[in-house]
Amino acid sequence: MEELLYELSSESRLGILRELNKKNCNMTGIASKLDLTTTEASRQLQRLSDARLAQKQPDGTYSITNYGRLVIHLSSHLEFVFKHKEYFLTHEVWGLPNQFLNRLGELSGSNLKMDVLENINTVQRITKEAQEYIWRGGFEQPLNIDPILAELIPKGVKCRSLFLKRFIPKDPLIPEVARGTEMRMIDTFPVSLLMTEKVAGIAFPFVDGRADYAGFVGSDPISLNWARDLFLYYWEKGERI
């Protein structure tokens, strides 16, 4: 493992692997794309070949090996965590089931939004733009979207709310929202989540358990799929209200 991490610790070697993951390339092409001398490109390609991460083809080009492709694919998860290390130093992810923690890098296509006021406005925008469904779950639910839901539900937008038992609303919901929302309750839900068919917002709690509005917003298919799978995993465990 130390040998693999050492090979990946070079910006040049990592850059070469990423280029080869896109398409085969010869040594001069690699040197040009990564602004390396041909001598340096040759040396790094030889190291990658010795590590079985790349291989030379009969036509003189280099390609990534199946092993190398797997390494690059899995390294994206670490890259995502590294990129947002300041966030993960102060936010709790260990409440996630292992199958979702192991897929955390699937949120790589989302953007980290740290401004609380901006995120509250984003919650409203996400809700207003829903055309098929709105799913929300986790800590205290933002009440500022209930009037929006009251307008969207009669138009056919499906709504699901997954409440933590300790945060079940004490005040009655707007009648249109109450009638048109599937509601379930659960003991634990490790994130605050709001998603539609277009976009998902995911916020992790602080390490001391407090809720936070800072989190990730993504509209790419992979981020959406991660959020959808997580919501449905807990939805199936929830009790009807």
**pLDDT > 70 fraction of the chain, expressed in percent and rounded:** 96
The answer to whether residues 27 and 136 belong to one domain is no
The answer to whether residues 28 and 135 belong to one domain is no
45: in domain: yes
Q: How many helices (H) and strands (E) does the chain have?
A: 11, 10
The answer to whether residues 137 and 211 belong to one domain is yes
Would you state the pLDDT for residue 223? 97
- Looking at the predicted structure, is the pLDDT value of residue 164 above 80? yes
pLDDT bucket at 171, cuts 50 / 70 / 90? low
The answer to whether residues 68 and 118 belong to one domain is no
Average pLDDT, the chain: 92
- Looking at the predicted structure, is the pLDDT value of residue 154 above 80? yes
- Residue 10 sits in a domain whose CATH number is 1.10.10.10
- Residue 209 sits in a domain whose CATH number is 3.30.870.10
- The neighbour count for residue 193, using CB atoms within 10 Å, is 22
Q: Tell which wins on pLDDT, 26 or 5.
A: 26
- Looking at the predicted structure, is the pLDDT value of residue 56 above 70? yes
The answer to whether residues 70 and 95 belong to one domain is no
Last residue of a domain, one of 28, 43, 74: 74
pTM summary value: 0.84
Query: Averaged over 174-201, what is the pLDDT?
Result: 90
Tell me which residue range forms the domain holding 192.
Answer: 90-240
Would you state the pLDDT for residue 64? 97
- Looking at the predicted structure, is the pLDDT value of residue 17 above 90? yes
Distance of CA 58 to the CA centre of its chain: 39
Would you state the pLDDT for residue 201? 95
- Looking at the predicted structure, is the pLDDT value of residue 170 above 70? no
pLDDT bucket at 140, cuts 50 / 70 / 90? low
Last residue of a domain, one of 39, 74, 109: 74
Would you state the pLDDT for residue 4? 87
* Alpha helix ranges (H) inside 51-132: 66-83, 85-90, 98-101, 116-128
- Looking at the predicted structure, is the pLDDT value of residue 143 above 80? no
Instruction: Write the CB contacts of 182 (distance below 8 Å, at least 6 apart in sequence).
Output: 158, 159, 160, 161
Structure tokens at 123: 């919650």
The answer to whether residues 227 and 127 belong to one domain is yes
Would you state the pLDDT for residue 20? 96
Would you state the pLDDT for residue 155? 92
- Expressed in angstroms, the distance from the first to the final Cα of the chain is 49
Total domain count, the chain = 2
Would you state the pLDDT for residue 241? 84
